[in-house]
């Protein structure tokens, strides 16, 4: 494998100096070097708007950008590879996962090619530093490789004590078998990556006129027993309130699950799934394509609940993250 930096010096030829100086930025740009290349442009209004991005030089006119150099458990980051030339086979890896990239086509027209990926920091990923590695190939078949170190901070999740129907804390064997089968089905869905961008632009909150919800990541004690953390965002609303798809996608599950009640899961492509739980009524079928804003069902109180509400979950490459963060990335996604 031969690597060449932006000055045209190959790593093999320039030896130890290169290894110490050039190759350090070429092969492993770490979080200690975010936002290098402070230029006049960065003080312009446009640059200020993107100044929170951490940038890492991969050489050969290729740059890796990450929407934040550190974030807390349950966060969603956006990762971008920018290049003046076309690249192929752009791929990433993070912890034990492959991170799929899609090409953000609109930008290619301006002479900059951009590939993007979501990076989900699972709400139970241990706090620490993790390496994100990205690779690709140039037209000439040369390898491009780069890495960033991303800090994961412990989330500040409160503990909550709730009382629910006893069968949701100590299910009988039949109920337990159903719950386990549901879990197996969901894990299989979330492990599947559809290599297609089914969404277009921004994601929305599934209830009209609602901007925020709560309970994400809360550690829960149910009827006195410690339980698993809460993986979604809850929106209390009257039974019958229409629930809309957060974006375009394919319905891959529309059925009654033991804990989340009447549930719909939408596949948006590239490992991005939204889950909607506790419906009183489901209005879509598995396999159906839905547009952003399509009515998936109505708010209800089915499954393990203390009252009518929408439970909204977001899973990205099997990482359980705060769904509101994909809404917050709206401006970036709208620009694609
Ligand atoms: Zn919930």
What is the 233 CA–ligand 1 centroid distance (Å)? 6
Is 227 found in the same domain as 109?
Answer: no
Q: So what's the pLDDT on residue 141? A: 86
Is 194 found in the same domain as 141?
Answer: no
Q: Could you tell me which residue, 306 or 10, shows the higher pLDDT?
A: 306
Is 236 found in the same domain as 304?
Answer: yes
Q: So what's the pLDDT on residue 29? A: 31
Q: So what's the pLDDT on residue 3? A: 33
Residue 179 belongs to a domain: yes
What is the 234 CA–ligand 1 centroid distance (Å)? 5
Residue 21 clears pLDDT 50, i.e. is over it? no
Number of domains making up the chain: 2
Residue 88 belongs to a domain: yes
What is the 230 CA–ligand 1 centroid distance (Å)? 6
Is 177 found in the same domain as 126?
Answer: no
Is 176 found in the same domain as 314?
Answer: yes
Domain end call among 109, 128, 153 = 153
Residue 3 belongs to a domain: no
- For ligand 1, an ion, list residues with CB under 5 A: 232, 234, 311
Residue 2 belongs to a domain: no
Is 163 found in the same domain as 102?
Answer: no
Say which residues have a Cβ less than 8 Å from residue 272's Cβ, sequence separation at least 6: 118, 199, 314, 315, 316, 326
What is the 229 CA–ligand 1 centroid distance (Å)? 10
Is 169 found in the same domain as 123?
Answer: no
What is the 232 CA–ligand 1 centroid distance (Å)? 5
Residue 85 belongs to a domain: yes
Is 172 found in the same domain as 145?
Answer: no
What is the 129 CA–ligand 1 centroid distance (Å)? 29
Residue 92 clears pLDDT 80, i.e. is over it? yes
Residue 270: which domain range? 159-334
Say which residues have a Cβ less than 8 Å from residue 224's Cβ, sequence separation at least 6: 161
Q: So what's the pLDDT on residue 334? A: 85
Is 91 found in the same domain as 183?
Answer: no
pTM, two decimal places: 0.83
What is the 71 CA–ligand 1 centroid distance (Å)? 23
Is 280 found in the same domain as 215?
Answer: yes
CA atoms lying within 13 Å on the CB side of residue 113: 15
What is the 69 CA–ligand 1 centroid distance (Å)? 29
What is the 127 CA–ligand 1 centroid distance (Å)? 24
Domain end call among 120, 153, 186 = 153
Is 199 found in the same domain as 287?
Answer: yes
What is the 271 CA–ligand 1 centroid distance (Å)? 21
Q: So what's the pLDDT on residue 107? A: 56
Residue 79 belongs to a domain: yes
178 token code pair: 């159903």
Alpha-carbon torsion angle 114, 66, 267, 336, nearest 10: -40
CATH number, residue 139: 2.60.40.1930
Q: Could you tell me which residue, 37 or 261, shows the higher pLDDT?
A: 261
pLDDT in tens, 185-242: 999 999 999 999 999 999 999 999 999 999 999 998 989 988 889 999 999 999 999 9
Is 21 found in the same domain as 103?
Answer: yes
What is the 251 CA–ligand 1 centroid distance (Å)? 20
What is the 134 CA–ligand 1 centroid distance (Å)? 34
CATH number, residue 180: 2.70.70.10
What is the 291 CA–ligand 1 centroid distance (Å)? 24
Domain end call among 85, 120, 153 = 153
């Amino acid at each position: 494998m031969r690597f060449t930096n932006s000055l045209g010096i190959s790593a093999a030829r320039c030896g130890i100096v290169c290894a110490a100086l050039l190759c350090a930025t070429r092969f492993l740009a770490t979080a200690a070097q975010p936002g290098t290349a402070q230029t006049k442009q960065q003080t312009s209004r446009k640059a200020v708007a993107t100044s929170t991005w951490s940038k890492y030089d991969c050489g050969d006119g290729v740059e890796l950008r990450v929407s934040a150099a550190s974030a807390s458990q349950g966060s969603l980051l956006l990762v971008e590879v920018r290049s003046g030339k076309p690249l192929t086979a752009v791929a990433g890896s993070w912890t034990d996962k492959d991170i799929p990239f899609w090409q953000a086509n609109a930008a290619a027209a301006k002479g900059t090619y951009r590939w993007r990926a979501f990076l989900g920091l699972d709400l139970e990923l241990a706090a620490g530093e993790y390496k994100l590695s990205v690779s690709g190939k140039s037209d000439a078949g040369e390898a491009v490789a780069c890495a960033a170190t991303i800090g994961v901070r412990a989330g500040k999740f409160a503990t909550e004590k709730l009382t629910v129907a006893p069968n949701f804390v100590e299910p009988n064997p039949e109920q337990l078998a159903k719950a386990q089968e549901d879990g197996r089905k969901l894990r299989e869905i979330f492990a599947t990556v559809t290599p297609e961008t089914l969404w277009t632009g921004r994601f929305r909150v599934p209830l009209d006129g609602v901007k925020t919800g709560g309970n994400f990541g809360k550690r829960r004690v149910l009827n006195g027993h410690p339980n698993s953390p809460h993986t979604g965002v809850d929106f209390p609303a009257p039974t019958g309130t229409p629930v809309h798809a957060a974006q375009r996608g394919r319905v891959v599950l529309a059925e009654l699950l033991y804990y989340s009640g009447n549930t719909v899961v939408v596949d948006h492509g590239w490992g991005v799934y939204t889950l909607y739980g506790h419906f009183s009524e489901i209005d879509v079928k598995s396999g159906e394509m839905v547009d952003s804003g399509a009515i998936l069902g109505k708010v209800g109180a089915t499954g393990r609940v203390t009252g009518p509400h929408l439970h909204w979950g977001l899973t990205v490459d099997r990482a359980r993250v705060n769904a509101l963060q994909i809404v917050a990335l709206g401006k970036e996604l709208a620009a694609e």
